[in-house]
Amino acid sequence: MKTSKSGRVIWLTGLSGAGKSSIAAELERIILQQGNAAYILDGDKVRCGLCSDLKFSPADRKENVRRLGEVAKLFADAGIICIVALISPYREDRQLARRLVSQGQFLEVYVNAPIEVCEQRDPKGLYARARAGEIKDFTGISAPYEPPEKPELELPTDRLTIAESVEKILNYLATADK
């Protein structure tokens, strides 16, 4: 896949443990290998810097998505494929991020795994801690997640491998660029 001259935003949304970061890392690797510019904005990593002042209230989550949307727009404007791996639990906030970029530049990818699968994949034990009441406002347990209604792609990661998921994204991009 050779991308168009303009960048784009690939927004991976889904529960913790659904596979967003793993897919983002492999997708970035392949895009770079193909000679295109790419960068990942990972929710966990930006919470250590750019968004370190934010907690997990609905207002703070909205601001987190807004900030990442604005940064992703800058990357896309520079011709870079920006891969955002972020739970981003609210539809309205994801729509705000979509509206920041030009028509056709935003690809919403629903990384969809059942919560039971996400809990099995959880190496940090966050779900267990959330169920025990140790973590407040944990998406999928004590805070809501609103699945996308019309994502460009849905990846059922309980049935797809990382490689298969990345292939679906690359195929979508190749078709969209024609």
User: Average pLDDT for residues 46-71, to the nearest whole number?
Assistant: 80
- Catalytic status, residue 88: yes
pLDDT of residue 1: 37
pLDDT at residue 43, rounded to an integer: 81
Label residue 2 by pLDDT band (50, 70, 90): very low
User: How do strand 106-112 and strand 153-156 relate by DSSP bridges?
Assistant: parallel
Which residue of the set 16, 21, 22, 88 is catalytic?
A: 88
* Pick from 11, 35, 25: nearest CA to 109: 11
pTM greater than 0.75 (yes/no): yes
Which sequence spans correspond to the domains of the chain? Answer: 8-173
Pairwise CA distance, residues 12 & 143, whole Å: 19
- Nearest-10 crossing angle of helices 20-33, 162-176: 50
Identify which has the larger pLDDT, 60 or 107: 107
Mean pLDDT of 26-52: 88
> 46-55, 60-69, 132-141: lowest mean pLDDT where?
46-55
CATH fold for the domain made of 8-173:
Rossmann fold (3.40.50)
pLDDT at 5 over 60: no
Average per-residue pLDDT for the chain:
91
Mean pLDDT of 66-95: 95
